[in-house]
A = this chain, B = another copy of it.
């Protein structure tokens, strides 16, 4: 690993930037998406638990919580980071191997609300934080993820520190110190997947970033090379050390442009197949046989053949494809129910769907082959890494948000995120 890149990340995080129009627009979309996920997630059981922690501490009302009142910025980052990921419906970046928005927006909005920052400055700080999270995810690489770390949490803590630190006006040297502190604070294991610990990992990343930035403002001195140096985060945490990949085009090329929004309230492994099915525009009675080809990784993740619960449905190719063909909205949380699994039309259609592994596909790809009763055979494929036009993405994120929090709140949030809205107006929509 090359020494000394923390100063480059710090310079990027505190300097003036010139993001692409697309990166700026996608940041707005992701802010809307994050708000919708957080507000909808605030009725999940883990939300009440996080609220009770905040209540018990009874701290200064610096920043609004999803589904509740307000708490100190650090606590708000913890609570909102957790709640925003409770539904696992927030955005994903495949190069990051994680969810960039959910660890960074809670930190950015907590500081921005507390310190009365401009909304556009808040969004810019968040974009920088998310871009750095993705790039640190690239630096840590697949080895870090495969051994058991949750990039959303680990790389995310540095993104949160960047966003919080920029909004607090840290200098380059101070930001390097904040990254050093985040290096000793960042944590999060994949061992928590399938439990409340998964969203909590996002919360601890957001809170670690806020705490690191606050401490540095107060004069805290930490090792500013604790990411890349001896005994640093990379070597201790099984990082691949892809320095070149991380730094390439920093400030010029924006990885955040290719963040992927979830448009179906189920496991991400199912999404490419659902998108491909949409292109086929199928009707249940005409289908003789529908074959799904997918990357082998997903066969053990989301290929439950005949689930009988709403939760099981979220991990079942056959079920979600049958739902979509039958016109059941896969974007709505409420669509995934025990009742839908028992629907005779769905059970019948499901029996005509087959899932096969195809190792020529990428993890983000799926191919569907339909054979109709009249003998017609058609094929469609989709790759989540080839995003649609900005117009299409905007339309779909807005529609998804409306289905999560209602048209009125979704439209209002979208209007605020345009020029002229304020942080306070946006956070007022958290509850």
The answer to whether B219 touches A45, judged by C-beta atoms less than 8 angstroms apart, is yes
Check A215–B58 contact: CB distance below 8 A. Answer: no
For A381, the chain B residues whose CB sits under 8 A away are: none
| Partner of A191 from B59, B72, B229 at Cβ < 8 Å | B229
- Taken together as a complex, chains A and B put the C-alpha atoms of A48 and B217 apart, in Å, by 12
Q: Which residues of B contact A222 (CB under 8 A)?
A: 192, 195-197, 200
Question: Using Cβ atoms and an 8 Å threshold, which residues of chain B touch A233?
Answer: 189, 191
Alpha-carbon separation in the docked complex, A128 to B150 (Å)? 30
In angstroms, Cα B201 to Cα A180, docked, is 12
Interface range, A side: 35 or more
Contact of A184 among B194, B197, B214 (CB under 8 A): B197
Give the docked Cα–Cα distance between A75 and B45 (Å). Answer: 24
* Distance in angstroms between the alpha carbons of A221 and B150 in the assembled complex: 18
Q: Considering the chains assembled together, what is the distance between the CA atoms of A197 and B183 in angstroms?
A: 10
Which one of A46, A189, A230 has the greatest number of beta carbons of chain B within 10 Å?
A: A189
Q: Contact between A72 and B49 (Cβ–Cβ < 8 Å)? A: no
A184 B180 Cβ-Cβ under 8 A: no
Task: Specify the chain B residue showing the minimal Cβ separation from A114.
Answer: B56
Among B52, B53, B181, the residue within 8 A (CB) of A197 is B181
A190 at the binding interface (Cβ < 8 Å): yes
Please name the 9 residue pairs, one residue from A and one from B, whose CB atoms are nearest each other, closest first. Answer: A148-B231, A59-B59, A57-B72, A191-B226, A187-B187, A197-B222, A148-B236, A58-B60, A57-B59
19 A–B contact pairs at CB < 8 A? A45-B219, A48-B219, A52-B218, A57-B59, A58-B60, A59-B60, A147-B231, A148-B230, A148-B236, A150-B184, A181-B197, A184-B200, A185-B204, A189-B232, A189-B236, A190-B231, A191-B233, A200-B215, A236-B238
